[in-house]
Structures are given as C-alpha cells and as structure tokens.
Amino acid sequence: MKQHLQRQSGVANVEVSLIDGKVNVTPKEDGQIEPAQLLKATYDSGVTVAELDMTASGTIVKDTSGNLSLQIKPNQSFVISPSELSKGLEPLVGLATVVTVRGQLYKKPVGKQKKADNSAPLKLLILEVKKE
C-alpha cells in the first residue's frame, strides 16, 4: 500500500503505522495532491479506508449552488458540510483570507456498503479551524 500511495502525484512521504492502522501522507510543497486518488489507490492495494482526515489552507468561497467551499487551488476545492464550525467561516466568503482547517473528507459508511463511492465528490466536515 505504501508504494501504491507514494506513486501518486503530489505525495512527498507516506508513513504507515501497522499498530493503530494509521497512514500519514505528507504532500509535496509545490505539488497537487488529490485525496480522491489516494482513496482509490488505497482500495486498489486491497486495504479498506475507514476514515480520511485532511489539514488544508485555502480561501472560503460559495459555489454556484450556494454551498460553502474551501478553495485550495483554482482547480481544486472541497464543498464544506454544514455544521456549527462551518457557520463561523461564512463571514470569510469572498475574502482573500487564507484559513487553515482540519476536516474529515471521508468516513466509511456503516452497514453492508463497504466500497467507497468514487463518483461522489468528497465533502469536508470541518473538525477544527486552526489559528495561524
């Protein structure tokens, strides 16, 4: 699995902890990492992803449907799931302020459905807004 992940574009380093089943991925500073590709690469290596958390910096924008999104690059943004924490980001919509957040992008569905639905866009559930 480690080799699978390290081959993905934008990945600088992968650390795997067999004891607690944690995989830490460090992106390259100037590269573009795609969390959905990491999910797919992990599944392709025969391992089930239970949860994927991401720490990222970006600006807060509203998409055409009115959803709050974290824009990281002009071609990379994540729709933010509505929550108490996301409400606190609303005043930043349209501003150039860069915020750093930690959020959950994927959680394995409970029940029989085991495989991730790769076609569905990943939604970011904000867990923490970091102070810079």
Partner 1 sequence: MNRKHLALLLLAGCVFVVPKLEAQIKHIEMRVEGMT
Q: What are phi and psi of 5, to 5 degrees?
A: -70, -40
User: Least distance from C-beta 41 to partner 1, angstroms?
Assistant: 11
Give the residue with the Cβ less far from partner 1, 83 or 102: 102
- Is 122 a residue that touches partner 1 (CB under 8 A)? no
Q: Of the candidates 97, 93, 6, which has an alpha carbon nearest to the alpha carbon of residue 15?
A: 6
Number of neighbouring beta carbons within 10 Å of residue 6 = 13
The residue from 6, 57, 63, 93 that contacts partner 1 (CB under 8 A) is 57
- Is 36 a residue that touches partner 1 (CB under 8 A)? no
56, 70 contact by CB (below 8 A): yes
59, 92 contact by CB (below 8 A): yes
Point out which residues bind partner 1 (CB under 8 A): 1, 16, 18, 21-27, 29, 33, 35, 38, 42, 46-59, 71-73, 98, 100, 108, 132
